[in-house]
Structure 1
Amino acid sequence: MHIQTHATESGQDLYPADRLHTAREAAARAGLDALLISPGADLRYLTGYDAKPLERLTCLVLPVDGYPFLLVPALEEPAAQASPAGGLDMEITGWNETDDPYAVIAARLPSSVARVGVDNHMWAEKTTAFHAALPGARQELAGSVLSGLRMRKTPQEAGALRRAGEAIDRVHARMGEWLRAGRTEREVGRDIADAIIAEGHVRVDFVIVGSGPNSASPHHELSDRVIQPGDPVVVDIGGTTQDGYCSDSTRVYAVGEPPEEFRQLHDVLLHAQIAQTDAVRPGLTAEQLDAVGRDIIADAGYGEYFIHRTGHGIGLESHEEPYIVSGNRLPLEPGMAFSVEPGIYLPHRYGARIEDIVICTEDGGDRLNRTGRYLVVLP
């Protein structure tokens, strides 16, 4: 076993200073007077600060008219200053334990503020406190402003996603070290989790090892089931790198020779997934891409067993916009990054899912995961 290390982009490259200006302009177009952004992916996207989600308020205040500032608990101020946020043209202010941070923010915003955008994952207790501090301001979701920015990755973000994809590919390439009959899913999952860190991530986001009938449950995760000879095994794994960007990839294995019917099922799925990744291009809508694989699977008689969307966006979060699903008429654009992961699940028998991360380019799609998509039969 070895630990992989890679040079990361500088904070200035991944979290450029002009994002605050861009977000302010987008908020103005949406008719908002300010954005209030608490710890999470939106805050990191805008400032590079990976803040701890605490009961104490941390909040980026981005007025449409006025100077942005980051209010943090006093004990977190050194960490905020040391992050890429410390290099931005923005005030970072610490508040003390006896202060009311909501009142501090309300006092610094213009009295004319009528509409504020709060980040989509702000805790309810914090949105309630802001409502009390700003009773005249209507709260709306900042995601309507920020998701459009976050969906289109910069070349630097694409590079971070590529490194994440390479890191998770290295874990899949080692699956033969751990996956064998006689071991439990949980035992295999612990080894995989260790490898996710060893191969270049700083956090394990999820480990799914679904063997035999458990492979028919898309989000099964882990159990104490002992893997049996001939079992199909779905392995869906992902983590977060030091850059803050996520990986996510699913491959299907068999421990010994699987049933012939399962091979046929996997062949259909492989055909559908390849067709979908090959179909990615600007202008194609999310629902059209979903239909490419769904139609192939339905024509083979498995349509009712493809029970989820084709994919989800990925970046600073494992799941973000755009979502590749029927009903989403959003056209794909260069820079959009998302999973392509059709699946077929026969209840109580077995299932399969193949997943790659793809970035839409100017003339097609760039598949970031390079391990083989064929069924891997392990001894």
Structure 2
Amino acid sequence: MLNKKYGNKLGEIMVKNNVDAMMIGPSADLEFLMNYSPQPDERFQALFLLSDKRYFYISPEITYEEIRDRLDNDTDIYKWGDHEGFVNTVVIAINRYKLAGKNIGVNNGIAAINLIDIQEKINAKFINGHNILEMLRVIKDESEIEKLRKAAKLADEVMGEIIDYISPGITEGDIKKKIEELFMQKGADGLSFEPIIASGPNSSMPHYCEDSRVIQEKDIIILDLGCKYKSYCSDISRTVFVGGITDEEKKVYDIILRANKAGEETAKQGVKAEDVDKASRDIIKSEGYGQYFLNRTGHGIGISVHEAPYIKTGNKQVLERGMAFSIEPGIYMQNKFGMRIEDIVVIGADGPEVINHFTKEIIVIK
């Protein structure tokens, strides 16, 4: 069923932003509104939610039964078959709801090639609706925060167990597989993203995505992992050392740890997102490593692992109670090494609540 509370809230946000309808394809946005999102493929489908809070759905025949079961009986569902294509069905629905000539927001679940086909047949102004939909999700209620806490707790537990599992001779891929196995054993719904296991020289790449390298003595390893619990995500990063740590590595780790703590302490109601970024970034800059801090300091988290608010330079969004986001400063030196420390923070009435509790002390794997 459509969550009427969130649907009504979205309608109010749309009115304020002069948007007449929102076209929402399979995505975290759709999951948030319907507690369901079909597997995306090349077939067009979308929920259309109007600013007056009416809504209808366009569905391929192959998913019609599932959609019908998830919406009120009186909801209009327009279905189309593979033999006919979807565009004429969209035209019929839009004309019936008098949306021609209106402002229609589009979310990131709509493929660009499908939107181009629709635009050729419909006279309407299609606009980027991503920011509006993120406004809908940016403030979490207590039930959502509790799910984030549970997801974070699972991530903390897996982080501890995977560090115990690591030893020279296994591969980055072995570690990834073990992470997924541990999350499933603990009752997670699944992974919130593919784990990043960046060892040795690979650690200088913040979003390294390979996994074939064998773990060796004296490696630095960035471990970035998370799960979903009742649709809500976790995300934690720690950096560990195999067999020993040099004085330079200790120095860099200490700088990142201080930057992480400064960002977390700054994250309070009324503070701008860019000020949290600045608190972390200034420490790294002051130590002469500013050019190696490649990423934003953080990103929001909820049903999606990356959503508003974005903790970055230039974002003047004011932090409010119920916002949840990462603090993850890092230093990445090409052809040398990289390190990152990441926690999730929730803005509470009495200040920031760091919901990850796994140690940030230096860990050397013997």
TM-score (norm 1): 0.89
CA distance in 2, matches of 1:190, 1:66: 44
CA distance in 2, matches of 1:44, 1:113: 28
- Is 1:200 the counterpart of 2:200? The answer is no
Partner of 1:225: 213
Structure 1 residue corresponding to 2:284, chosen from 290, 294, 297: 297
Cα 1:166/1:194, change in 2 over 3 Å: same
Partner of 1:3: none
SS in 2 for 1:332: coil
SS in 2 for 1:43: helix
Does the 8 A contact of 2:204 with 2:335 survive in 1?
Answer: yes
- Consecutive unaligned residues of structure 2, counting only runs of 5 or more, are none
Cα 1:198/1:108, change in 2 over 3 Å: farther
- Is 1:234 the counterpart of 2:237? The answer is no
CA distance in 1, matches of 2:348, 2:141: 11
CA distance in 1, matches of 2:73, 2:289: 55
CA distance in 1, matches of 2:24, 2:99: 19
Cα 1:29/1:176, change in 2 over 3 Å: closer
- Is 1:115 the counterpart of 2:103? The answer is yes
SS in 2 for 1:321: strand
Structure 1 residue 81: deviation in Å? 4.2
CA distance in 2, matches of 1:183, 1:81: 48
- Is 1:351 the counterpart of 2:335? The answer is no
Correspondences of 1:326-337 after superposition (within 5 Å): 326-337=313-324
Structure 1 residue 300: deviation in Å? 2.0
- Is 1:63 the counterpart of 2:47? The answer is no
- Is 1:275 the counterpart of 2:259? The answer is no
Partner of 1:20: 7
Does the 8 A contact of 2:58 with 2:78 survive in 1?
Answer: yes
Cα 1:359/1:66, change in 2 over 3 Å: closer
Structure 1 residue 256: deviation in Å? 1.5
Correspondences of 1:1-379 after superposition (within 5 Å): 16-65=3-52, 67-82=54-69, 85-86=70-71, 91=75, 93=77, 95-97=79-81, 98=84, 100-110=88-98, 113-135=101-123, 137-204=124-191, 205-241=193-229, 243-379=230-366
Does the 8 A contact of 1:286 with 1:329 survive in 2?
Answer: yes
Deviates more, 1:245-254 or 1:55-64: 55-64
SS in 1 for 2:316: coil
Partner of 1:5: none
SS in 2 for 1:50: coil
CA distance in 2, matches of 1:237, 1:179: 15
Deviates more, 1:321-330 or 1:220-229: 220-229
Segments ≥4 residues shifted beyond 6 Å: none
Cα 1:94/1:106, change in 2 over 3 Å: closer
Does the 8 A contact of 2:68 with 2:77 survive in 1?
Answer: no
CA distance in 2, matches of 1:320, 1:116: 21
Does the 8 A contact of 2:162 with 2:178 survive in 1?
Answer: no
CA distance in 1, matches of 2:216, 2:26: 44
Deviates more, 1:328-337 or 1:63-72: 63-72
CA distance in 2, matches of 1:111, 1:292: 46
CA distance in 1, matches of 2:346, 2:323: 6
Partner of 1:6: none
Q: Which digits, 9 at most, give the CA deviation of each residue in 1:247-305, with x for residues without a partner?
A: 11101111111212101211111111112112210111111101111111122222222
SS in 1 for 2:226: strand
| Number of residue equivalences | 361
Cα 1:158/1:89, change in 2 over 3 Å: farther
Q: Which digits, 9 at most, give the CA deviation of each residue in 1:201-240, with x for residues without a partner?
A: 3333211111122111111133322222121111011233
CA distance in 2, matches of 1:89, 1:21: 19
Deviates more, 1:219-228 or 1:165-174: 219-228
| Sequence identity (%) | 32
CA distance in 2, matches of 1:21, 1:89: 19
Does the 8 A contact of 1:286 with 1:324 survive in 2?
Answer: yes
Structure 1 residue 165: deviation in Å? 1.0
Does the 8 A contact of 1:313 with 1:338 survive in 2?
Answer: yes
Cα 1:224/1:336, change in 2 over 3 Å: same
Amino acid at match of 2:356: N
Structure 1 residue 326: deviation in Å? 0.8
Cα 1:144/1:276, change in 2 over 3 Å: closer
SS in 1 for 2:212: coil
CA distance in 1, matches of 2:334, 2:174: 24
Q: Which digits, 9 at most, give the CA deviation of each residue in 1:305-340, with x for residues without a partner?
A: 211110111112111111111111111111111110
Deviates more, 1:184-193 or 1:17-26: 184-193
Root-mean-square deviation (CA, aligned residues, Å) is: 2.1
SS in 2 for 1:330: coil
